[in-house]
Amino acid sequence: MNVYDTTRMYDVMAPLGYTPSNSYEDADMVILNTCHIREKAEDKVFSDLGRVRLEKEKKKAGGEKMLIAVGGCVGQAEGAEIITRAPYVDMVFGSQSYHQLPEMVTKAIRDGGGVVELDFPQVQKFDLLPEVSNTQGVSAFLSVQEGCDKFCSFCVVPYTRGAEYSRPLAAVIYEASKLVDGGAKEITLLGQNVNAYHGEMTDGKTASLAYTIDALAQINGLERIRYITSHPRDMSDDLIAIHGSEKKLMPYLHLPVQAGSDEILKKMNRKHTRDFYFEIIEKLRKTRPDIALSCDFIVGFPSETDENFEDTMDLIRRVNYASAYSFKYSPRPGTPAATDENQVPELIKQERLARLQALIHEQQTTFNQSMVGKTLKVLFDREGKHNGQLLGKSEYMQSVYVKEIEGLRGKITDVKITGGFLNSLTGEVIN
Ligand code: SAH
Ligand code: SF4
């Protein structure tokens, strides 16, 4: 979502003559678009700020200026504190106010910094943003939903991104068609709880995510649709069904469960059980047998016992994932779990995370190796790590490397898979 927001900041700043830059040296302004989800992400902001400060000082020595801004969820959560801690920062703004960047920049230049903008405006920023220009290329993100009303006891999202909000269907379809006009072949619909999407329609009814996917699939030139991130409780039957009927919807689903123990799920305020999750997985696999599943896990949530953790390991074995993200529980200020007295010691968290990741890596490698010899459709969108290599994504979201062939970039092509590894596949382009 921060990647998407950043591209919209480009759109907002373009009329003022600002364009994206590849280096600090060239930049008149540096915006750190930040994440508050775990402490590690937050710490990164301050170490990055240290680096940007040096650039600002270098410029100053040469008689030039540089504006430094902190946007996104750390900006939202810490506000003016950031300027107290790092006085060389000129502007701090939250995740809902970046449409006001031109005014903020003008003020910062006029007043020599000190701009803090944290409002959750009455008018949605989406209604005030300029038309999207596709700066994202062949594979583009599109935010359809923001915020969250679920209040899981570990999570800052409801506080930093605000209440759940869905963009109207017409706005989503319009933006998607603009992205496609600008060259997008794949669109990933974004939301903190994207499957809770319920966009207003012109007739006053609301569109579900499944309805929206169906509508987007009608856009000529759009070839792939994905959506992320979903909550198990919002995995409605119409959404499961469309995985079986809509060919443009990719056979991949990121469906975080966080933990495999009912006791912990309850303390997390997830409002679903492990059996409920298994039922959804079963329905999905019945509808789309080859669907690749991905997940998020938190280990070492307060009071998690060895037995609770084994329940998570058991869930992973039963589901069998194509990939997953996993994190040590990170206490976040202002969330209920942060003040729980039964915090799990760091060493135990580390041990559990290592075991969980080893299991996930095993499943992921097996999944990737099972592709060897098969022909997959791959959308190539960037250069590979090595010279003369192209990198693309399979329908199952795997990274696929091939030898570069002229004209291949930006296309969906059949690739015969020759190698399967932990994080990628290799292959040969057919024809
Ligand atoms: N809405 C999604 C998740 C959004 S947050 C859902 O409900 O599943 C992205 C991921 O960050 C979460 O899935 C969770 O695994 C992780 N996360 C959130 N808060 C965390 C915390 N306090 N400590 C560790 N991981 C956390
Ligand atoms: Fe955070 Fe997701 Fe829970 Fe909302 S549903 S509080 S975004 S983990």
pLDDT band at 124 (very low <50, low <70, confident <90, very high): confident
Fold of domain 2-117:
Rossmann fold (3.40.50)
pLDDT band at 125 (very low <50, low <70, confident <90, very high): confident
pLDDT of 149 above 90: yes
Closest ligand 2 atom to residue 192 Cα is 7
Contact 391, 384 (CB under 8 A): yes
Question: pLDDT tens digits for 23-47?
Answer: 998 999 999 999 999 998 888 999 9
Kindly report the backbone phi and psi dihedral angles of residue 285, in degrees, each rounded to the nearest multiple of 5, phi listed first. -70, -30
CB of 161 within 6 A of ligand 2: the answer is no
Give the pLDDT of residue 133. Answer: 87
CB of 337 within 6 A of ligand 2: the answer is no
Which of 238, 403, 411, 254 has its CA nearest to residue 322? 254
Separation of alpha carbons 381 and 376, rounded Å: 15
pLDDT of 121 above 90: no
Give the pLDDT of residue 211. Answer: 98
Q: Which residue has the higher pLDDT, 347 or 24?
A: 347
Give the pLDDT of residue 135. Answer: 83
List ligand 1's pocket residues with C-beta within 6 A: 37-38, 154-155, 157, 192-193, 229, 231, 256, 258, 296, 298, 327, 329-330, 332
pLDDT of 50 above 90: yes
Tell how far the Cα of 290 is from the centroid of ligand 2, in angstroms: 27
Q: What is the torsional sign of CA 337, 342, 345, 351?
A: negative
Separation of alpha carbons 51 and 65, rounded Å: 16
Question: pLDDT tens digits for 225-284?
Answer: 999 999 999 999 999 999 999 999 999 999 999 999 999 999 999 999 999 999 999 999
The residues with which 71 forms a beta bridge, in sequence order, are 33
Residue type, 298: I
CB atoms within 10 A of CB 247: 10
Q: Where are the domains of the chain?
A: 2-117, 375-429
Closest-approaching ligand to the CA atom of 161 = 2
Contact 86, 127 (CB under 8 A): no
CB of 36 within 6 A of ligand 2: the answer is no
Which of 267, 338, 332, 333 has its CA nearest to residue 304? 267
First to last CA, the chain: 36
pLDDT of 339 above 80: yes
3-state secondary structure (DSSP) of residue 422:
coil
CB of 147 within 6 A of ligand 2: the answer is no
pLDDT of 431 above 80: no
**% helix, strand, coil for the chain, step of 5:** 40, 20, 40
Give the pLDDT of residue 123. Answer: 73
CB of 268 within 6 A of ligand 2: the answer is no
Question: Which of 327, 340, 346 should be mutated for ligand 1, with most atoms under 8 A from CB?
Answer: 327
Token digits of residue 236: 């409605």
Separation of alpha carbons 73 and 70, rounded Å: 9
CATH class of this structure's domain 375-429? mainly beta
